[in-house]
């Protein structure tokens, strides 16, 4: 049974403090070193935050819907540990819908960078379709 003391915002915050921080640093360091404007830095930071949530939701979905052979790691760990995830809170379909919403938000956050960088634009969509 998942920890019922964690709500949606709690889970997203906890996840942003884990994997999300790696995405944020990666998307923030380059613009800082490149002396990007505050607006550009804010856009890329918002992108990274949404990207981190997409990554974590898909990771949690794989834990529920995939196999160890496909993912290359043990699955079902979250349920065994009673860990609250967006999948336990929203169900598989709800978590997929939230991941898609967050992927769209990440792409929108890029603003003009989306057209100039198809790699950044496509990364959230790639994460939605990953199987490992």
CATH number at residue 58: 1.10.600.10
Tell me what the mean pLDDT of segment 96-107 comes to.
Answer: 97
Tell me what the mean pLDDT of segment 61-70 comes to.
Answer: 83
In the chain, the number of structural domains is 1
Residues 25-48: tens digit of each pLDDT: 999 999 999 999 999 999 999 999
Distance CA 107, CA 100 (A): 11
Q: Is 13 inside a domain boundary? A: yes
Q: What is the pLDDT of residue 4?
A: 60
CB-based contacts of 67, cutoff 8 Å, min separation 6: 75
| Burial tier of 20 (Cβ tally within 10 Å: 0-12, 13-18, 19+) | buried
Q: What is the pLDDT of residue 1?
A: 47
Checking if the pLDDT of 71 tops 80, the result is no
Q: Is 62 inside a domain boundary? A: yes
Q: Is 102 inside a domain boundary? A: yes
Q: What is the pLDDT of residue 2?
A: 52
What is the value of pTM for the model shown?
Answer: 0.86
Average pLDDT, the chain: 90
Q: Which domain holds residue 78?
A: 8-129
With bands split at pLDDT 50, 70 and 90, how would you rate the model's confidence at 115? Answer: very high
Q: Is 33 inside a domain boundary? A: yes
């Amino acid at each position: 049974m998942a920890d019922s003391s964690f709500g949606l915002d709690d889970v997203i915050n906890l996840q942003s403090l884990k994997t999300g921080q790696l995405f944020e640093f990666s998307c923030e360091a380059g613009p800082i070193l490149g002396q990007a404007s505050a607006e550009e830095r804010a856009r890329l930071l918002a992108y990274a935050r949404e990207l981190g949530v997409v990554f974590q939701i898909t990771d949690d979905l794989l834990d529920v819907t995939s196999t160890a052979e496909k993912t290359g790691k043990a699955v079902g760990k979250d349920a065994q540990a009673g860990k609250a995830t967006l999948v336990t809170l929203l169900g598989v379909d709800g978590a997929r819908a939230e991941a898609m919403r967050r992927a769209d938000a990440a792409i929108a956050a890029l603003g003009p960078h989306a057209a100039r960088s198809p790699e950044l634009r496509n990364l959230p969509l790639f994460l939605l379709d990953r199987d490992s």
